[in-house]
Amino acid sequence: MQQIEIDKKYIEEVYNLNKNCDYLKYTIMTMGCQLNENDSEKISGMLEEMNYKYTDNFEDADLIVFNTCCVRENAEEKLFGKIGEVKNLKENKNVILAIGGCMMQEKNMVEKIKKSYPYVDIVFGTHTIHKLPEDIFRVLSERNKVRDIIDIDGDIYEGMPIKRNSSYKASVTIMYGCNNFCSYCIVPYVRGRERSRDPERILEEIRMLAKEGYKEITLLGQNVNSYKGDDKIKNFAELLDEVCKIDGIEFVNFISPHPKDFTDDVIEVIAKNPKVTRIIHLPLQSGSTKVLKEMNRKYTKEQFIERANKIKKMCPDVVFSTDIIVGYAGETEEDFEDTLDVVRQINFEQIYMFIYSIREGTVGAKREDQVPEDIKHARFDRLKELYESRVDENNEKYIGTCQKILIEGLSKNNPNTYTGRTNTNKVVIFDKDGDYKPGDIINCKITEAHKWYLKGEKVN
Ligand code: SF4
């Protein structure tokens, strides 16, 4: 029997154990990136097929899942705080507690849970999510604790149930793992080596989503543009092109690309396909060639700028977003100035800024020349100040332009206005002059620019 059939058999087994209980509820706390969000959607899909219904209230839940991330240090504190908080639910109500995700691929974390939080029922890793039904079955029928983690790279499992969080935008994971071993990053150790999904399976999934009314697709991968297909659809550029041909899909994003794999054929596909959103994420990490080499990023400051300029030349309507790590080990004032220089030159519209934190097990953690915390924080503030000083100017450029807007729904703070996003991910607010549902697309003329949103009016 194939693994996916075994998994489905356990879904059925748990359903049979649960079928006479009408009110079984689950909740999921998801940490980290969009890949984890997508994993949580798959976990929800399995749980719903086992007769659990979602609640956002921990107190109401019969089963609580923590889907963890280990990219940043503060995630650990957050997780352990939360597991401590739910101890009383375990004691009073005997909820099932399951912890999975990247952090559970770290041996010391699993040991800590075993020792300090023995009431946790299930610990599962990134490669064994599909076995959660079997783990739950064992807890329900045998009252055993389950530790279900493997170190080897997991296979790709197609056909798992999924319950999506949105009715109009969907993430589709196209590849798993990473081969790059950037020296600050724990991901290759916990997510394994790169494995790409079959292109036809991906396209089939997106065609189904289009039929169900989805308008926006985000292709996901730790290193999305190193995707490898088959003889027919060979690489990321060809896959992106095929996704854009699917009727009904109007916005196509991808995250997170690596600058070294941002080849000319990918840029050509973006240039000819207006469906590809006009905000390109190009993670810089540092502007210093010396630091980039130490980070094992495989491009220089000049090569990064050349790539961004080439994208801008071939697709003049795109803007950029980026990730920057401030205070990596050995970063000098001069190195940091190089980062500010690239920020000035490229004029990123969005910057996700992070203060470097040591991740045990990585090359960066072993370095003795760590930057003192106060210097890291001062540099972070300077970068933030530079970024924010550009926001007004960048937003004002939109005034008078006509933008295609994907509607998200009525504004939370004012039910007389709708909120939507441009294809550069800018929030746009416009007056309610008709009935729209999330996922509808309209054209808006931008009339005002504010710090964190634009105002517009509908045009035909
Ligand atoms: S490309 Fe680098 S930063 Fe991104 S997941 Fe791989 S190792 Fe981590």
Cβ of 180 closer than 6 Å to ligand 1, yes or no, is: yes
Decide if 3-148 and 402-459 have a common fold. no
Cβ of 102 closer than 6 Å to ligand 1, yes or no, is: no
Predicted pLDDT of residue 393: 93
Cβ of 181 closer than 6 Å to ligand 1, yes or no, is: yes
Q: What is the DSSP string of 173-210?
A: E-EE--S---TT--HHHHH-S-EEPPHHHHHHHHHHHH
pLDDT tier, 73 (very low <50, low <70, confident <90, very high otherwise)? confident
E-assigned strand segments in 71-179: 96-101, 122-124, 146-148, 169-173, 175-176
Give me ligand 1 centre to Cα 178, in Å. Answer: 6
Cβ of 188 closer than 6 Å to ligand 1, yes or no, is: yes
Of the given ranges (84-88, 212-216, 221-225, 425-429), which has the lowest mean pLDDT? Answer: 84-88
What are the extents of the domains in the chain?
3-148, 166-277, 288-394, 402-459
- Which tokens sit at 429? 């607010």
From CA 253, how far away is CA 17, in angstroms rounded? 41
Give me ligand 1 centre to Cα 185, in Å. Answer: 6
The residue whose two tokens read 């004002």 is 396
Could you tell me whether strands 25-30 and 53-54 are parallel, antiparallel, or unpaired per DSSP bridges?
A: parallel
3-state secondary structure of 4: helix
CATH of 3-148, one of 3.40.50.12160, 3.40.50.300, 2.60.40.10, 3.40.50.920: 3.40.50.12160
Asked if 134 contacts 6 with a C-beta cutoff of 8 angstroms, the reply is: yes
Per-chain mean pLDDT for the chain:
93
- Count the Cβ atoms, other than its own, within 10 Å of residue 122: 23
DSSP classification of residue 399: T
Q: Is the pLDDT of residue 258 over 90?
A: yes
Cβ of 222 closer than 6 Å to ligand 1, yes or no, is: yes
Give me ligand 1 centre to Cα 74, in Å. Answer: 19
Of the candidates 82, 65, 189, 182, the residue with the CA atom closest to the CA atom of residue 127: 189
Predicted pLDDT of residue 149: 67
Protein residue with its CA nearest to atom 2 in ligand 1: 182
CATH 2.40.50.140 fits 402-459, yes or no: yes
Q: Which CATH class, in words, describes the domain spanning 166-277? A: alpha beta
Predicted pLDDT of residue 76: 82
Domain covering 288-394 in this structure, CATH number: 3.30.750.200
Q: Is the pLDDT of residue 429 over 70?
A: yes
Cβ of 258 closer than 6 Å to ligand 1, yes or no, is: yes
Q: What is the pTM of this model?
A: 0.92
Give me ligand 1 centre to Cα 217, in Å. Answer: 22
Cβ of 182 closer than 6 Å to ligand 1, yes or no, is: yes
Mean pLDDT of 132-146: 86
Ligand 1 atom with the smallest distance to the CA of 296 is 2
- Which tokens sit at 439? 């996922």
Cβ of 223 closer than 6 Å to ligand 1, yes or no, is: yes
Predicted pLDDT of residue 1: 66
Cβ of 23 closer than 6 Å to ligand 1, yes or no, is: no
- List beta partners, residue 286: none
